[in-house]
Chain A
């Protein structure tokens, strides 16, 4: 069975600080990896995804993530956060041919102070 672990439950940063959210997964086969953002009261939005190729993936809103296969990690980064980045962030993994059978991490709440 696949599992996803997000290390940080709640992160508080000041504007312009750099962000890194940890995500580790466990799965025996080839996976697709995703980061989603959920703004307060809103639905899930896809930030970025990794299927194959360049392990450094760039997404929307200045976010990027790096897939390190040897560490089973897919950490999310942003060089300089903004107040509008305040949201819940979910890492998810799915088998590469069963996209909807995603397993989500517990989520990380990011609070950015102006």
Chain B
């Protein structure tokens, strides 16, 4: 099965620092998503991205968060000033033209200290 690749696999950052999580979707995929899973909790939708703009976002996705696809391949999630409660596993997902199935990356574990 085609892979969605995320880097880094684990990042530790100090509170207040900016972090950028990277995702390389499957080529030719057009729809991109970020999810978050706080330890021991369920996976939560953050944001969807299509045609170089946000198409939908959840209430979790506040002004501290931003997404972009700067070079047409990488899809990034930026957290401007991290808080302790941002510690979680962040999953990227991508879907093709028909948008019927999303492929998940392996996740980035973010630890804010």
Contact = CB atoms under 8 A, between A and B. Distances in A.
Interface of A: 32, 36, 42-44, 46, 49, 51, 90, 92, 94, 96-107
Given A90-B42, A99-B95, A101-B56, A43 B105 contact: yes
26 contacts: A36-B104, A42-B106, A46-B104, A49-B101, A90-B42, A90-B43, A92-B43, A97-B98, A97-B99, A97-B100, A98-B99, A99-B100, A99-B101, A99-B102, A100-B32, A100-B93, A100-B94, A100-B95, A101-B33, A101-B45, A102-B43, A102-B45, A102-B93, A103-B45, A104-B44, A106-B41
Chain A CB count within 10 A is highest, among B42, B44, B93, for B42
A99 B43 contact: no
A36 to B, nearest CB: 8
> What does DSSP make chain B's interface, helix, strand, loop or mixed?
strand
Contacts, number: 60
Contacts of B35: 102
A89 B94 CA distance: 21
B99 A100 contact: yes
Contact of B42 (A94, A99, A107): A107
Contact of A100 (B42, B48, B107): B48
B31 A100 contact: yes
B49 to A, nearest CB: 9
